[in-house]
Amino acid sequence: DGGITQSPKYLFRKEGQNVTLSCEQNLNHDAMYWYRQDPGQGLRLIYYSQIVNDFQKGDIAEGYSVSREKKESFPLTVTSAQKNPTAFYLCASSISPRETQYFGPGTRLLVL
């Protein structure tokens, strides 16, 4: 089955720790995205990648980093510089940058 997988489902971060969220897709999509979802707010774009080895900052990139070394994978690192990381993180992909985005199941990040 084609789709987008995210792991882990839940992630706990200690103070000062960097953590990495995984996103994998087998849809052969060129574009991939990371969003953050907080209660009562719309999804906010963290980073996006239109093609392998290229990525751009979204609206709230501070405290986050990404890489796109393979077409299928777009991991997100939440660094210690992100002071309010508790949120639901969603990865999405689309066949090309302007087409419909399809979402993964999400990772909930909590701070210990």
Partner 1 sequence: EDQVTQSPEALRLQEGESSSLNCSYTVSGLRGLFWYRQDPGKGPEFLFTLYSAGEEKEKERLKATLTKKESFLHITAPKPEDSATYLCAVQAWTTDSWGKLQFGAGTQVVVTP
Cβ closer to partner 1: 83 or 98? 98
Question: Which residues sit at the interface with partner 1, rule CB under 8 A?
Answer: 4, 6, 40-45, 48, 50, 56, 58, 88, 90, 92, 96-106, 108
Residue type, 47: Y
In whole angstroms, what is the distance from residue 5 CA to residue 24 CA?
A: 5
In whole angstroms, what is the distance from residue 64 CA to residue 44 CA?
A: 13
In the bound complex, what is the minimum distance in angstroms from residue 106's beta carbon to partner 1?
5
Q: Which two tokens stand for residue 12?
A: 């706990």
In the bound complex, what is the minimum distance in angstroms from residue 48's beta carbon to partner 1?
7
In whole angstroms, what is the distance from residue 101 CA to residue 93 CA?
A: 5
Cβ closer to partner 1: 43 or 61? 43
In the bound complex, what is the minimum distance in angstroms from residue 15's beta carbon to partner 1?
25
Cβ closer to partner 1: 12 or 18? 12
Q: Which two tokens stand for residue 97?
A: 């940058």
Cβ closer to partner 1: 8 or 97? 97
In whole angstroms, what is the distance from residue 74 CA to residue 77 CA?
A: 10
